[in-house]
Amino acid sequence: MAHRKPLQSACKTFEEDLVLYYYGETGDDERRRVNQHLAECISCQGFVEDLRRLLPQIAKSAQMPPSFWDEYYRETVAKLAQQEARKHWWRALFAPRQIWMVPAFGTVAVAILVVGLLFGKGNLNSFMHRTSERIPQEILADESQLQFFESMDLLESLGTLEKQDDQNTDSTNTQSSRVRQQHAVA
């Protein structure tokens, strides 16, 4: 199969002018000069013919057909959707079920609460106390021990308190006897 040359060769001095001529970008004098040359030069005529034949095809191939852009759009949208799904994969678990999941979660929560209250009612108070406090067993050995540790401050000053109490009692008694004596004298 014979291979055709893409462009017929033109005169070197006219090659650039012929391209500008083809695009209509030559001045009047230049166009006249090129026209004169073309009338005499078969090679340059062939070159211009080739330009007319090939350049529109090149320009055409640079424009993508609408089907290409449709496909490009579809692929881009699909890729964006995939990326979004990867970023919020956990949302996909809930999103389609949002409407029915709200009452469902509510029911489950209430059920857990009811079961917890039913089975844990008796132990709830002691459980709270057990977890929040570390009570030394020595304190809870018997009731008397607890009272002892409750009253420890008082016991430390018991002697002083008793003395104060005695003094107070004595002064009250003295006052009472004085009042009695005054009544007797009167």
Partner 1 sequence: MAANDNWRNLTPTEKDKVQENYQRWQRLPPRDKEHLRDEWNRWQRLPKDERDRIKQRYDRQRRDRRED
User: According to CB under 8 A, which one of 80, 158, 171, 176 is a site residue for partner 1?
Assistant: 158
Is residue 23 within 8 Å of residue 55, measured between CB atoms? no
Q: Which is nearer to partner 1, 40 or 153 (CB)?
A: 153
Is residue 46 within 8 Å of residue 7, measured between CB atoms? no
Token pair in block for residue 126: 């002691």
Is residue 25 within 8 Å of residue 57, measured between CB atoms? no
Binding mask 118-147 for partner 1 (x = CB under 8 A): -------xx--x---x-xx-xxxxxx-xxx
Q: Nearest distance from residue 102's CB to partner 1, in Å?
A: 39
Q: Which is nearer to partner 1, 77 or 139 (CB)?
A: 139
Q: To the nearest 10°, the Cα dihedral for 45, 49, 50, 55?
A: 130
Q: Nearest distance from residue 174's CB to partner 1, in Å?
A: 18
Q: Nearest distance from residue 168's CB to partner 1, in Å?
A: 8
Is residue 183 within 8 Å of residue 177, measured between CB atoms? no
Instruction: State the number of CA atoms in the 13 A half-sphere of 35 facing the CB.
Output: 8
Is residue 150 close enough to count as binding partner 1 by CB under 8 A?
A: yes
Q: Which is nearer to partner 1, 71 or 162 (CB)?
A: 162
Binding site for partner 1 (CB under 8 A): 125-126, 129, 133, 135-136, 138-143, 145-159, 161-162, 164-165
